[in-house]
Amino acid sequence: MDVRVCKRCKKMFQHVTGPDVCPKCKQKEEEMFQVVKEYLRKNPGASMNTVSQETEVPVSLIESFLRQGRLEVTADSPIRLSCETCGENILTGRFCSKCSASLMGDLSSAAKQMTRAQAPKTEEKKAEKMRFLRSDRIK
Ligand SMILES: [Zn+2]
Ligand SMILES: [Zn+2]
């Protein structure tokens, strides 16, 4: 079992999978996602600031929905994300199609290297955690 601190409300929670956000905050985010999605469906021409003001969802969260590829804006929407590599305007995700294609190549070779090195590392981590717990108790 993995206990983590929620990056939104800073409370401890049992982490299962996905980002470090507790179930409560995840649900809240899900509700906000639906609100933004619905708002954009009705107002496809709204700017990022307008959407944020009208839905009371922070811009950073709307951006992260877009970056996750969960939310998409229409081609004529003023809302634009920029490619994290070259700054090109994109509609969704983190990279433009050109950069994501070249990144995919890089990532798959990096992933191969990681799986090769991973097995002994997890054992090391476990041992480290145990040591940490023990020294914690001494204090
Ligand atoms: Zn939380
Ligand atoms: Zn790019």
Torsion of the alpha carbons at 95, 99, 105 and 107, rounded to the nearest 10: -40
Query: Does 100 fall in a domain?
Result: no
Q: How much distance in Å is there from the Cα of 15 to the middle of ligand 2?
A: 33
- Write down the pLDDT at residue 14: 93
Q: Which ligand is nearest to the CA of 103?
A: 2
139, part of any domain: yes
How many angstroms does the Cα of residue 13 sit away from the middle of ligand 1?
8
- Report pLDDT digits (tens) over 75-126: 888 998 889 999 998 888 889 999 999 988 887 777 777 777 655 555 556 6
Task: Answer yes or no: is 103 within a domain.
Answer: no
Query: Is residue 18 scored above 90 in pLDDT?
Result: no
- Rounded to the nearest angstrom, the distance between the alpha carbon of 93 and the centre of ligand 2 is 11
Claim to verify: residue 86 and residue 114 sit in the same structural domain:
no
Distance from Cα 138 to the centre of ligand 1, integer Å: 30
Distance separating alpha carbons of residues 129 and 30, to the nearest angstrom: 33
Verify that 14 and 75 share a domain, yes or no. yes
Q: Which domain holds residue 51?
A: 2-95
**From the CA of 20, how far away is ligand 1's center (Å)?**
9
pLDDT of residue 112: 76
Number of domains in the chain: 2
Mean pLDDT of 37-53: 95
CA of 107 to the centre of ligand 1 (A): 31
- For the entire predicted model, the pTM comes to 0.64
